[in-house]
A and B are shown apart, each in its own frame.
Chain A
Amino acid sequence: MLETDSKGLCDPLLTLLQQNARESDEVIAKELGTTPEDIRGRIADYEHRGIIRGYQAVVNTDRVDDGSVRAVIELRIRPEREGGFDRIAQRISRFAHVESMYLMSGGYDLLLFVKGKSLQEVANFVSARLATLDGVLATATHFMLKTYKDRDVLMEGDPQDDRLQVTP
């Protein structure tokens, strides 16, 4: 049985999919010492139970010059008597501009990762859509300038395998 390290999830299948979701069921089965049918069944089950929520490529967006901009936004909001932060948080998360969003401890409540076609568009989104929402107390917007690492993947400097080709 494979062990669990601090990064890995309890099921090595999930760890493996997080590293490379495009790996074939046949190869995964060999790596985990089981059959492709078993792998397909387990993945279907994870999908069915909503544990696997989707599959995405890690793209270096800095290299895809489509003019889009990303920002990180800190929001302070007023919790409601019933439901706390959840209702307003869910409203905010449904905006298409919001790529990721987290409830935080500390100096603010919500952390948003937002994408827009231009600086202007993001600025408008914040001032017109977010700041005006009932329950939003304050916003702070930080524009992202460059991505160095995303979800465990370094964006630059793929290390070359420069080992000697045959060694004892």
Chain B
Amino acid sequence: MTGSKSPLRFVSPLVRELPKSGIRKFFDIVAGRKDVISLGIGEPDFTTPWHIREAAIASLEEGWTHYTANLGMPKLRTAIAEYMRKSFHAEYDGMTEVLVTVGVSEAFDAALRAIVAPGDEVIYHEPCFVSYAPVIRLAGGVPVPVGTFRKDEFRVTVDRLEAAVTPKTKALILNFPNNPTGATLRREDVDAITEFVLRHDLVLISDEVYSELTYEGERCTFAGIPALRDNLVFLNGFSKAWAMTGFRLGYVCAPAPVTDAIMKVHQYGIMSATTVSQAAGIEAVANGDDDILAMRNEYHRRRNFIVASLNEMGLDCFMPKGAFYVFPSIQSTGLTSEEFAFRLLDEKAVACVPGTAFGTCGEGFLRCSYATSMPQLKEAMTRMREFVKART
């Protein structure tokens, strides 16, 4: 029903032509099947730690039910600035350089709309989080993907960035630790990319929402590099570190004039992040170090288990150092990513997301999330082993 009388005629061409996410397609097929073990879930399986939920409840009892400052509660912003100092060695002024948002999702959208002018090119790396390209488009920008590959353990390399940059390039989006590959950057990558960003005077929008889930070695971040400070828009949130996805809470750290610009978009579009969530966020930052440690340990052990199991059954994957995803190659089975995912679901009732949902260079790979309990992971590995064995 796309004839001239369909209500579709009211929808803008831009939105009409945005593809539905590949994840959505897969979700529709899985939805409603009760027997499925899902390794397709991009959020922690832990419930938000109780003391954080308790703080949210207490805030409601005390009547914190009003709007907050556009930037967010001063107490939360101060706490975030302190956390950035402690955990990232980065100096941000809680009063002018921190903006509290409705998740990293809104932070990302508002930042792009504040920065991108019509026709500006924005470079990002694939495979990546599903909303990057659509949000760039919605902001009027032109998405320019660069590929990342198994042989580099899915790290972005400067030669590929160099090949993509043009005089119209305005910004670079990076996401490490990465969804869907679990990739992290090395110190020398961070240095080289910093140099690249400065040489072309780009804005670097660094989505570090998985930063607390780094399992080995030092955390690699773009925050806290003095030379980069003016060019950096740092995004982080509470969803993954403290298992607070449903609270929808995130933040931006950026130099004051940029924060102020992003705040304008946020002010007109959102007003202020949900007050009860901000109350929970204050508790998380103040008293939540141990929660992170406990969850990180649990993910760490599951990661070791799932990587060993996948390699053992013949699905090659490197040991990812961050996030809660592994990205095994399924090329040895001769199936495409979609075929593999659909048949695995059909025959063994295990749901994984085809790598292609995250960009065309995800072909030949599968995203498996280990944000799922050990008993479920064990059963899923047993079923996958049978599935692969029948094909190799």
Contacts and interface: CB of A to CB of B under 8 A. Distances in A.
Contacts of B36: 165
A32 B304 CA distance: 7
Interface of B: 21, 23, 26-27, 30-31, 33, 36, 38, 40-43, 45, 47, 129-131, 179, 290, 293-294, 296-297, 300-302, 304-305, 308-309, 351, 353, 373-374, 378
Given A3-B296, A12-B297, A33-B304, A165 B378 contact: no
Interface in A89-129: none
Interface in A5-45: 5-8, 12, 15-16, 20, 23, 27, 30-33
Contacts of A30: 304-305, 308-309
A159 interface: yes
Closest 9 CB pairs of A and B: A166-B40, A31-B301, A5-B293, A30-B308, A166-B27, A30-B305, A5-B294, A167-B42, A31-B305
A83 interface: no
A75 to B, nearest CB: 33
Interface residues of A, number: 25
Given A7-B294, A27-B378, A167-B42, A159 B47 contact: yes
Nearest to B28: A166
Contacts of A168: 21, 23, 42, 129-131, 179
B306 to A, nearest CB: 8
B290 A6 contact: yes
Contacts of B373: 161
Contact of B301 (A12, A163, A165): A12
A16 B301 contact: yes
Interface of A: 2-8, 12, 15-16, 20, 23, 27, 30-33, 159, 161, 163-168
27 contacts: A2-B301, A3-B297, A5-B297, A7-B290, A8-B294, A15-B297, A27-B378, A30-B308, A31-B302, A31-B305, A31-B374, A32-B304, A33-B304, A33-B308, A164-B27, A165-B33, A165-B38, A166-B23, A166-B26, A166-B30, A166-B38, A166-B40, A166-B351, A167-B40, A167-B41, A168-B23, A168-B129
B38 A32 contact: no
Given A7-B294, A166-B41, A168-B129, 18 more contacts: A2-B297, A3-B297, A7-B290, A8-B297, A20-B374, A23-B374, A27-B374, A31-B301, A32-B301, A32-B304, A33-B304, A165-B36, A165-B351, A166-B23, A166-B26, A167-B40, A167-B42, A168-B131
Nearest to B377: A27
Nearest to B179: A168
Contact of B43 (A3, A6, A23, A163): A163
A163 B41 contact: yes
A36 to B, nearest CB: 12
A154 B290 CA distance: 20
A120 B43 CA distance: 52
Given A3-B297, A166-B30, A168-B21, A161 B351 contact: no
Contacts of B378: 27
A11 to B, nearest CB: 12
Contacts of A166: 23, 26-27, 30, 38, 40-41, 351, 353
B125 to A, nearest CB: 16
Contacts of A32: 301, 304
Contacts of B45: 161, 163
A2 B290 contact: no
Given A3-B296, A6-B290, A8-B294, A165 B41 contact: yes
A149 to B, nearest CB: 11
A161 B33 CA distance: 14
A33 B351 CA distance: 26
Contacts of B374: 20, 23, 27, 31
A3 B293 contact: yes
A3 B179 CA distance: 23
A109 to B, nearest CB: 32
B91 to A, nearest CB: 26
Nearest to B45: A161
Contacts of A12: 297, 301
Given A2-B297, A3-B296, A12-B297, A165 B27 contact: yes
A17 to B, nearest CB: 12
B234 to A, nearest CB: 21
